[in-house]
Structure 1
Amino acid sequence: MVSNYQTMQEPSVQNNENDSTSKEPQLSNEPEGSVEAGEPEEPTYSEGGPKAILILFGCFCAFFSALSMLNSIGAYQASISQDQLKQIPQGSIGWIFGFHGFFSFFSGLFFGPLFDAWGPKPLAAAASCTTAVTYLTLGVCRTYWEFFLCIGVMGGLTTALMFTAAMGTVQHWFFRHRGMATGIAVSGGSVGGIVFPTILGALIPRLGFQWATRVVGLTLVPVSLISLLLMKARFSAPFHSWRSIVPSLSPLRRLRNLLLAGSLFFVETSIFIPVAYLASYGLQQGLPESISYRLLTFLNVGSLIGRWLPGYLGDKIGRFNAFILALVLCLVSVLGIWLPAGSNKAQITAFAILFGIGSGSGISLAPACLSQLCNIEEYGRFFTTFYTVASFGSLIGIPISGQILEATKGDFYGLIVFAGLAYGCALFLLTLVRVLEVGWAFTTKF
């Protein structure tokens, strides 16, 4: 097994009527075209067929379960800040959801090596159990620390387990169409983000918070069990000892990897700010409650498009190229549309959809970009190392925004500028990575 993480070259495609697989090139320190005697055979990828499609559907279900709370945090935040925790400052409430995003990715550092060694099923089984516990206890939470433990800790752990299992599984089954396949899988989270804010907005006034969250849980547990049954890995890293599954930050030793981790940090800092505060922004601007909650639905509709379309585009023009274009769209939508929107309902809705398209690509394109830089057998460790760095952005983004909102006495101007600046930093670092690897010519596929 090769220990260094080198940039993947475009795979060669063999025209064989009886073999529809494409081969991923062996990573090596040798010049392109050199092959050592006795070199292990390159891994092959299904790229399609009934089995791969069924497994992709299992990953879709996994993301539907894993990301539904993360993509619906605005609905939960708006509800508990007006009811159970109405005496708690917004900045303090923000730490609940900030820690949820942080723990969702940080704890994955420990699960990535486990995925490499044993595949997705142990992680998905644990996630199914924690999903049930999370939603059974969420409805009875009343105090700040109860919500923190339920949403921040247990909810974050659930997301980390299922997210790691599903993301690694997609990379094992697709190479040429990896961007599009990843986008289709993670769009399950967008579907959850469309469905559950609508459910919560409709059921909380009628049934109360407790029964509304139970309905969400009764929906998610069966879906997570479907993902457990369908997901399956194709490759595994050799298990020599327990040290082989210990988390490692060694991929960050290379400059381009460190810059990419920094870009993902700023993406995660900013991506959840509109998700968390867009419903509250609508209420503050005087929009009806039903419309304010529906803004999250519009955002997730855009995210649904943004998770598969940029992935398809990335397979054509290069995944890093497509990711850069997506960050440009995020930056323009935040500073060019949301910042001057005020109470203009059409403009706020346009922002929600366009930002959803741009931000949705972050979850589909970033993992596909990372897969170009490592051996597929060690993708779990590599992927979770980067997202451990990014998790600290998830931790601070929402709470800092809440503090800004308090400091400006409810004026969202500073919060929006903060989100835009974070996206600007992410765009700069990602562009720098691309320039270091292939230069300035954007006609180069990378």
Structure 2
Amino acid sequence: MHAVQPRAKLFYGWFVVAAAFVVTFIGFGSAYTFSSFVESLQRDFGASRGSVSLVFSFAGFLYFGLGVISGPLADRWGARRLAALGMALVGLGLLLASQAQTIIEVYAAYSIGIGAGVGVAYVPTLGAVQRWFVRRRGFASGLAVSGIGVGTLVMPPLATWLIASLGWRDAYLVLGILAALAGIGSSLLIADDPRRYGTGPDGDPLNAVSSAPVRHGVSIGDAVRTPRFAGLYAACLISAFGVFVPFVHLVPFAVDHQVTPALAVLLLGMIGVGSTAGRFFLGSIADRVGRDTFLTAMYAGMAASLAIWAVAGGFWSLTVFALLFGVFYGGWVAILPAVVTDHFGGRNVGGIIGILYTSVAFGTLLGPSAAGFAYDVSHSYFIPVAISAAANLVAAVIAVATTRTASPIASMA
């Protein structure tokens, strides 16, 4: 008789990836539901559309800016606690919005509750995923952050349906309860160290990785003083000034070019479709071609797609731009945490990613508003869009130069 082979256990790292997917789905999906509530809020509170952009700018700054605090805290206290706290804040922000009596209270609940909630949960969750993988780090990271794209596609239509069925207050109430239950529940699956589950990264046996501790890596202070980090930070900062311009200005650009408002809104959905595809499928390609090379290609791809936007006019040419831009943007978001872990190790990855993401926070805060001021002066989007394309081309050049600097983690081997 043949001996019965024991069934191999499913590697727990994939549960961490699934949890991260839900956290990003709930967090960013809840954030992007705001557009579904604008009409109701305008009707009940007399809010202007111009004030809405301030909500997105402030919330976006918190998404990425708070990582400088939540990342190091997660390295010390564990990502599970920070992710659960962040999801609780998202749920609380939605619940408070349902009880608001003024538009200012809605903005405060949304910006501070959801913005801070995502800011507390996002970087710790991504940092946890990085520690569970080495060979397939790009693929795993891509799957984790694809929750952002899927949440952008699913949550706003769900909010619209709830508003039509229940009214905007009860819609916020239902979304708040769902966000808290699903977000906190999934956060409890997050774990930082595969060794506690009897395995090494990628599911390798412990005896095969005993000489490479999972949390091995450079300190935060040493990391931020390296040329490698300086190059990554500069590329992210310059790129981010242009990356978030489409999320604010693509719809008004399309309307200015005789695209109906209903079709113009669909263009944001096309960015979501492309972004989801980029996050799902490009991470595994990055693992094969090299994640540094892949990051450079994402900057170049965003530059090329933004150049298409600069000369586009009709709905179909803008659709091509939106899909292409979404793919490269999604690939950029997916691979960046993996590149950080490749070069600085896993010991302080949350804190290092958090500091790096302050560059993205400043880009989110300043880029779209600067584009708006440029439009006010020139009455055209050509200059801000062209500058956005040029910024990402410069970021690609910086990324190439950065690959020629020494990798800090390699010097420790």
Same fold by TM-score greater than 0.5:
yes
Contact 1:107 1:157 in 2 (8 A): yes
Moved more, 422-431 or 73-82: 73-82
| Match among 305, 316, 328 for residue 333 of structure 1 | 305
Matches within 5 A, 1:71-82: none
Does residue 177 in structure 1 map to residue 147 in structure 2? no
The answer to whether the Cα contact below 8 Å between 2:63 and 2:116 also exists between their aligned partners in 1 is yes
Matches of 1:272 and 1:84, distance apart in 2: 28
Give the corresponding residue for 2:78: 119
User: Aligned match of 1:233 in 158, 167, 192?
Assistant: 192
Find the counterpart in structure 1 of residue 371 from structure 2: 401
Assess, with a 3 A threshold, how the Cα gap between structure 1 residues 359 and 233 changes in structure 2: closer, same or farther.
same
1:194 matched to 2:153? The reply is yes
Q: Does 1:49 align with 2:20?
A: no
Q: Please give the residue correspondences for 1:16-415 in structure 2 after superposition, counting only pairs within 5 Å.
A: 49-69=10-30, 87=48, 90=50, 93-139=52-98, 145-200=104-159, 209-234=168-193, 250-336=222-308, 338-342=309-313, 344-409=314-379, 411-415=380-384
In structure 2, do the counterparts of structure 1 residues 202 and 396 end up closer, same or farther at CA, with 3 Å as the change threshold? same
Is the Cα contact below 8 Å between 1:295 and 1:352 reproduced in 2? yes
Give distance in 1, aligned partners of 2:370 and 2:362: 12
C-alpha distance in structure 1 between counterparts of 2:27 and 2:297, whole Å: 26
Partners of 1:358 and 1:315 in 2: how far apart?
Answer: 16
Shift of 1:225: 2.3
Distance (whole Å) between structure 2 residues aligned to residue 159 and residue 437 of structure 1: 33
Counterpart CA distance in 2 for 1:140 and 1:418 is: 42
* CA distance in 1 between partners of 2:399 and 2:26 (Å): 29
Rate the CA distance shift 1:165–1:154 in 2: closer, same or farther, 3 A: same
Q: What is the Cα deviation at residue 346 of structure 1?
A: 1.2
CA distance in 2, matches of 1:395, 1:167: 22
Count of residues in Structure 1 that have an aligned counterpart in Structure 2: 379
Rounded to whole Å, the distance in 1 between the matches of 2:277 and 2:317 is 19
Relative to structure 2, which stretch is displaced further, 60-69 or 186-195? 60-69
**1:115 Cα deviation after fit:** 1.1
Instruction: Give the Cα separation in 2 of the matches to 1:78 and 1:283.
Output: 18
Give secondary structure in 2 for the equivalent of 1:176.
coil
Deviation at 1:221, TM superposition (A): 2.6
Distance 1:165 1:118 in 2: 10
Aligned equivalents of 1:119, 1:394: Cα separation in 2? 27
What is the Cα deviation at residue 73 of structure 1? 6.5
Where does residue 426 of structure 1 map in the other structure?
395
SS in structure 2 at match of 1:431: helix
CA contact (8 A) 2:375 2:384 kept: yes
Paired with 1:335 and 1:426, the residues of 2 have a C-alpha distance of 15
Contact 2:33–2:159 (Cα < 8 Å) also in 1: no
Deviation string, structure 1 residues 350-402 (Cα, Å, up to 9, x no partner)? 11111100001121111111011213111111111211233211221222223
Distance in 2, matches of 1:405 and 1:80, equals: 27
Q: Which amino acid aligns with 2:272?
A: N
Instruction: Give the Cα separation in 2 of the matches to 1:136 and 1:375.
Output: 39
TM-score by length of 2: 0.81
Q: Matches of 1:186 and 1:250 in 2, distance apart? A: 27
Change (3 A) 1:426 1:84: farther
Unaligned 5+ segments in structure 2 are 196-218, 408-413
CA shift, 1:202, in A, is 5.4
Alpha-carbon distance, 1:205 to partner: 6.6
Q: Structure 1: give runs of 5+ residues left out of the alignment.
A: 1-16, 21-47, 237-246, 439-446
Cα deviation, 1:123-157, whole Å, max 9, x if unaligned, reads 12211221112112335657664354233322221
The structural deviation recorded for 1:176 is 0.5
Aligned residue identity for 1:417? A
**C-alpha distance in structure 1 between counterparts of 2:129 and 2:152, whole Å:** 21
SS in 2 for 1:376: coil
Q: Which region of structure 1 is more displaced relative to structure 2, 110-119 or 200-209?
A: 200-209
One-letter identity of the residue aligned with 2:295: F
* 8 A Cα contact 1:270 1:420, kept in partner: yes
More helix by share: 2
Change (3 A) 1:313 1:82: farther
* Deviations, residues 230-256 of structure 1 (Å, cap 9, x unaligned): 1111079xxxxxxxxxx9655221222
- Secondary structure of 1:68's counterpart equals helix
Deviates more, 1:215-224 or 1:141-150: 141-150
Contact 1:331 1:420 in 2 (8 A): yes
Note the C-alpha offset of 1:413: 2.5
CA 1:85–1:98: 2 relative to 1, 3 Å: farther
| Amino acid paired to 1:397 | G
- Structural RMSD (CA): 3.1
Q: Larger deviation: 184-193 or 139-148?
A: 139-148
- 8 Å contact from structure 2 (residues 68, 358) kept in 1: yes
Match of 2:410 in 1: none
TM score, norm. by length of structure 1: 0.76
Structure 1, 222-231 or 78-87: larger mean CA deviation: 78-87
Q: By how many angstroms is 1:106 displaced?
A: 1.6
